DNA sequence: TAGCGCCCCCTGCTGGG
DNA sequence: CCCAGCAGGGGGCGCTA
């Protein structure tokens, strides 16, 4: 089994511009999560040169969006294809598994995604993106800043919606409570979204099953129609659901999403990694078998 | 500005190898 | 038993009427 070693990754970025220090594992550069994430002080994190988006090293500034860590990507050379190609950049190696701790705003582990040259295969969770998609819109144009948490938003509406969360008491006094269960939400919008999981307003015309959101119903209807709009570029399998295609793409990669910090093994699911770490991680045995 | 649509993330279940 | 596929649920956020 040949693991893609991190050292090889820097070569891909040397292709872009030798004058600019590429993101690399060896450097202390923090990964660019800009295309999906929301930054503190975004201008200090990213800069453009020759139509290529680069990231600068930041001290203790990690990018996050909401409550999750997002995959890292670079927008490259959008002058050729009309919109940026997508590559993943490896996150620096951290001390544990690939968990981003929002509370401490720090990685507790390694979240590694492989990348290859622009002609090679890659894990790409941004399938079928168009130039209008969120990630492209976010490339350097977030200009509405929340004064309370410094998050940046592309539109004023996005900022207004976000500020609903701050407008409520953090103590929970003014939380919006669901009358159907005991869940509480910090915004009315979030509560309304949740209530749909009780009322299930979207009903399948084929079997009558109900769903909370139209796109969930749409995905379900594909199980009746057999439509599979998401195709794998590597093996021509197709899937009804984008997430399932993304999961499938991991089967084409030897580096899975979740990596063990003690040995080189990677897994497609956090549950598999957890089980490995609890029951079966023997680094010496792994090293000798390679 | 609320609703929509799309994004990504995650997980339980299941069946094949 | 392991892993991949399937189906479905959750929150976030930009766009638009
Ligand atoms: Zn409820
Ligand atoms: Zn149905
Ligand atoms: Zn495939």
Which residues of chain A carry a pLDDT beneath 50? Answer: 1-141, 168-173, 284-290
Distances A178 to A93, A198, A199, A256, A282 between C-alpha atoms, Å: 41, 10, 12, 38, 47
Instruction: State the helix-helix crossing angle for A156-167 and A188-199, rounded to 10 degrees.
Output: 90
DSSP state of A132: T
- CB count within 10 Å of CB A113 equals 24
- Cα(A39) to ligand 3 centroid in Å equals 33
Nearest to A90 by CA among A68, A113, A106: A113
- For residue A197, report the distance from its CA to the centre of ligand 1, in Å: 7
Q: Please give the pLDDT value at position A193.
A: 78
Contact between the CB of A12 and strand B at under 7 Å: no
Kindly state the greatest CA–CA separation across chain A: 60
Residues 222-261 of chain A within 7 A of strand B, judged by CB, are 242-243, 246-247, 257
The Cα–Cα gap between A214 and A200 comes to 10
CA pair distance A127, A246, nearest whole angstrom: 8
Q: Which of residues 79-138 of A touch strand C (CB under 7 A)?
A: 132, 134, 137-138
Residue A163 is predicted with a pLDDT of 64
Cβ proximity of A254 and A236 under 8 Å: no
Nucleotide with smallest C1' distance to residue A191 CA: C11
The residues, ordered by sequence, that sit 6+ positions from A288 with a Cβ below 8 Å of its Cβ are none
């Amino acid at each position: 089994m040949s693991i893609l070693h991190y050292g090889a990754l820097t070569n891909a970025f040397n292709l872009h511009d030798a004058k600019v220090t590429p993101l690399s594992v060896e450097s202390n550069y923090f990964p660019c999560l800009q295309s999906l994430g929301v930054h503190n002080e975004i201008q200090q994190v990213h800069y453009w040169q020759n139509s290529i988006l680069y990231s600068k090293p930041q001290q203790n500034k990690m990018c996050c969006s909401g409550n999750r860590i997002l995959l890292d990507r670079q927008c490259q050379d959008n002058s050729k294809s009309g919109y940026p190609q997508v590559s993943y950049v490896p996150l620096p190696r951290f001390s544990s598994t690939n968990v981003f701790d929002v509370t401490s705003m720090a990685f507790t582990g390694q979240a590694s995604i492989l990348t290859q040259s622009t002609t090679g295969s890659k894990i790409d969770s941004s399938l079928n993106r168009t130039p209008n998609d969120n990630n492209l819109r976010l490339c350097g144009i977030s200009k509405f800043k929340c004064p309370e948490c410094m998050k940046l938003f592309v539109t004023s509406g996005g900022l207004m919606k976000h500020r609903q969360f701050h407008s409520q008491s953090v103590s929970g006094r003014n939380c919006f409570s669901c009358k159907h269960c005991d869940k509480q939400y910090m915004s009315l919008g979030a509560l309304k979204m949740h209530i749909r999981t009780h009322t299930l307003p979207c009903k399948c015309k084929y079997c009558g099953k109900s769903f909370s959101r139209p796109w969930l119903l749409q995905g379900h209807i594909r199980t009746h129609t057999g439509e599979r709009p998401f195709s794998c570029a590597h093996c021509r399998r197709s899937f009804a659901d984008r997430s399932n295609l993304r999961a499938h793409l991991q089967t084409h990669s030897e580096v899975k999403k979740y990596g063990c910090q003690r040995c080189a093994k990677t897994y497609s699911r956090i549950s598999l990694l957890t089980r490995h770490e609890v029951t079966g991680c023997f680094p010496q045995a792994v090293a000798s078998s390679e």
